[in-house]
Homo-oligomer: A and B are copies of this chain.
């Protein structure tokens, strides 16, 4: 592992000292480690949202130890793991509940894994409720300090890791059948579709589109930038992560269309009939 960098993603929020305590534990075990907080605002216990955020963020992070904790099963027998992936000098640390899987796939796939649930790096006594502090942070720090996977846990078969497969949009009869993948802090709604799906449905930049979800159907513009529509209008763009996204210029598409992760959204062109 490239010495010294630990990235950290969680659903701990910033309303208490959980994130700070993990930083402290890391600094005690590996004083030279530099910690980059990706985000601690994953929706609480939403493993899928955390997995997508981690997958999308890691390509922009330096090589190092990638610590991630969204862990509704803390205190149950779910495994705690550290993974080596195809890209060199990168190791992922977190619960074995699918959280790490899409990121590992993006980084070349899981190559080796260890079970760190009984790691010698654990803080004793291990609590039933805060494995970020007691297991994940100290193991991440040990790896950043130069430890090998085999130093921090028991080898396990990567084929037994819990997998999480993101959904993918389909295109039929000129309609993109997508699902909501992620919401960002501005209320922009990323779908599980990419630019090629729009192309396959015959949609081109500059066209008016119809966006249908559970309760509403609304028109918007397939555009190149938020500011291509007036304030308050709906726009369909390819976002900064390469996903097709719904946005309301200077507003919140999530709020206005009442969209949540997993919900179906159908997108098609609006064309004159006759």
Contacts and interface: CB of A to CB of B under 8 A. Distances in A.
Interface of A: 5, 7, 9, 12-21, 23-25, 27-28, 31, 34, 36-41, 44-45, 53, 56-57, 60-62, 72-76, 127-130, 133-134, 184-186, 224-228, 237-240, 250
A10 to B, nearest CB: 11
Given A5-B27, A16-B41, A57-B17, A226 B185 contact: no
A20 B36 contact: yes
A238 B127 CA distance: 8
Copies in the complex: 3
B17 A56 contact: yes
A57 B250 contact: no
Given A20-B39, A56-B17, A72-B250, A62 B31 contact: yes
Given A20-B57, A60-B24, A186-B44, A227 B38 contact: no
Contacts of A56: 17
Given A12-B185, A185-B14, A225 B129 contact: yes
27 contacts: A5-B31, A9-B17, A13-B186, A14-B41, A14-B185, A15-B41, A15-B185, A16-B39, A16-B184, A16-B185, A18-B185, A20-B38, A21-B60, A25-B60, A27-B61, A27-B62, A28-B62, A44-B186, A60-B133, A72-B250, A73-B227, A74-B227, A75-B224, A75-B225, A128-B226, A129-B237, A130-B239
A39 B24 contact: no
A226 B129 contact: yes
Contacts of A76: 225, 227
Given A14-B185, A16-B41, A185-B13, A226 B60 contact: no
Contacts of A19: 39
A240 B129 CA distance: 6
A24 B41 contact: no
Contact of A37 (B20, B129, B186): B20
A25 B24 CA distance: 22
Given A5-B27, A60-B28, A250 B20 contact: no
A227 B61 contact: no
Given A20-B39, A129-B225, 4 more contacts: A13-B186, A72-B250, A75-B224, A128-B237
Nearest to A28: B62
A228 B75 CA distance: 9
Contact of A184 (B15, B24, B127): B15
A227 B62 CA distance: 35
Contacts of A228: 75
B57 A39 contact: no
